[in-house]
Amino acid sequence: MKTTKQSYSKPFLTIEEQILKLKNRSMLFSNEEKAKQTLQNINYYRLSGYWLIHEQDHNTHQFKKNIYFEDILNTYIFDRELRLLFLEAIERIEVSIRTKFAYELSNKYGSHFHLEPSIFYCPVKYAQTIVKLKSEVNRSKEICVVHFKNKYKETLPPIWSSVELMTLGQISNWFDNIKLRQDKQQVAKFYNLDEKVLSSFLHHLTIVRNISAHHSRLWNKRFTFGFTLPKFPTELSNQFNVNKHKYLYNTIIMIHHILKQIDSNSNWLEKINDKIIKYNIDKERMGYK
């Protein structure tokens, strides 16, 4: 079969050549020396994701008028600090979800309910989650896990120990696969959410967490997978922007809601808003109303 692919032919560019290329595309510089220092530490390709929105022609890559390199860097720094705030929030949510999942279901089914396939809906998904958990346990050097393996005959530690070895993605899969809706609701009601909304959001949050942890662009991301919004008109549901369902604003609103259930004194949303003001960010590109 004849291929239509071509060989990659773009040449290597020195820092000086990178700056010249941007200038030829009409980008402006307040301080070229500082720009050179920036490009020595932040990949040209990485930054390009932040200046695409300022191109007036995506074929020629010419920039709109009065676009400064420093404006691009400003947005980049905002995005970096935003990701750190998201990781801080996701950690609190992840720890809380682990706790509620283990507490509520072990209260009903016992310490090793995760070894009971009948509690879960899909046998294939259950098999996948249990294999991953056993792998995590086998690799773990935690003192409590080593002690358990040396003393007890069960193949896995009790859920309150096992759950601490689960990633956010794994706990999302475990929760989603619980057979009885009432069991899911028992966990979800702590966050004043329906179980379908919580299950969907945990999956979405896994994606957001991976983007943040891998230093990818987050601030104006349009997600391929959003999450199920609350259906009935409430104080919470009225805050979402249904016209930009898959943008970051809705994620921010849901994280803020959950953090408030965990700690009513949470000021995470205020930190987000402070960053937006500090860096003069266009909120509409984040999906704000």
Count of Cβ atoms closer than 10 Å to residue 3 Cβ: 5
Last residue within a domain, chosen from 45, 67, 89 = 67
Please choose, from the candidates 267, 228, 265, the residue with its C-alpha nearest in 3D space to the C-alpha of residue 250: 228
Backbone angles phi, psi at 57, to 5 degrees: -140, 110
Do 108 and 19 belong to one domain? no
Q: Considering the domain boundaries, does residue 235 fall inside one?
A: yes
pLDDT of 55 higher than 90: yes
Give this prediction's pTM: 0.94
When pLDDT is cut at 50, 70 and 90, the band that residue 3 belongs to is: low
Do 200 and 180 belong to one domain? yes
Q: How far is CA 81 from the centre of its chain?
A: 14
CA-to-CA dists, residue 158 to 122, 144, 195, 230, 248, angstroms: 22, 11, 24, 33, 37
Do 265 and 159 belong to one domain? yes
Please give the average per-residue pLDDT across 59-66, as a whole number.
Answer: 93
Q: Considering the domain boundaries, does residue 9 fall inside one?
A: no
Dig out the tokens for 45 from the structure.
């390709």
Q: Considering the domain boundaries, does residue 47 fall inside one?
A: yes
Give 79's Cβ-side CA count (13 Å radius).
26
Q: Considering the domain boundaries, does residue 116 fall inside one?
A: yes
At 84-111, the pLDDT tens digits run: 999 999 999 999 999 999 999 999 999 9
Give yes or no for a contact between 254 and 227, defined as CB atoms under 8 angstroms apart.
Answer: yes
State what percent of residues in the chain have pLDDT above 70: 99
Please choose, from the candidates 179, 163, 182, the residue with its C-alpha nearest in 3D space to the C-alpha of residue 102: 163
At 169-196, the pLDDT tens digits run: 999 999 999 999 999 999 999 999 999 9
Do 115 and 42 belong to one domain? no
Q: Considering the domain boundaries, does residue 10 fall inside one?
A: no
Q: Considering the domain boundaries, does residue 8 fall inside one?
A: no
Do 126 and 61 belong to one domain? no
Q: In whole numbers, what is the pLDDT of the chain averaged over residues? A: 95
Do 63 and 83 belong to one domain? no
Dig out the tokens for 216 from the structure.
């990818």
Q: How far is CA 88 from the centre of its chain?
A: 11
When pLDDT is cut at 50, 70 and 90, the band that residue 233 belongs to is: confident
Last residue within a domain, chosen from 67, 98, 129 = 67
Do 127 and 200 belong to one domain? yes
Please give the average per-residue pLDDT across 73-83, as a whole number.
Answer: 98
Determine the pLDDT at residue 183: 98
Determine the pLDDT at residue 8: 82
Do 155 and 50 belong to one domain? no
Q: What is the number of helices (H) and of strands (E) in the chain? A: 12, 2
Q: By residue range, what is the domain housing residue 100?
A: 76-286
At 260-285, the pLDDT tens digits run: 999 999 999 999 999 999 999 999 99
Give 122's Cβ-side CA count (13 Å radius).
9
When pLDDT is cut at 50, 70 and 90, the band that residue 2 belongs to is: low
Give yes or no for a contact between 200 and 254, defined as CB atoms under 8 angstroms apart.
Answer: no
At 111-148, the pLDDT tens digits run: 999 999 999 999 999 999 999 999 998 888 888 888 88
Do 61 and 93 belong to one domain? no
At 8-34, the pLDDT tens digits run: 888 899 999 999 999 999 999 999 999
Do 48 and 102 belong to one domain? no
Do 240 and 268 belong to one domain? yes
Count of structural domains, the chain: 2
Tell me how far apart the alpha carbons of residues 7 and 48 are, in angstroms, rounded to a whole number. 22
Q: Considering the domain boundaries, does residue 119 fall inside one?
A: yes
Do 142 and 251 belong to one domain? yes
Q: Considering the domain boundaries, does residue 4 fall inside one?
A: no
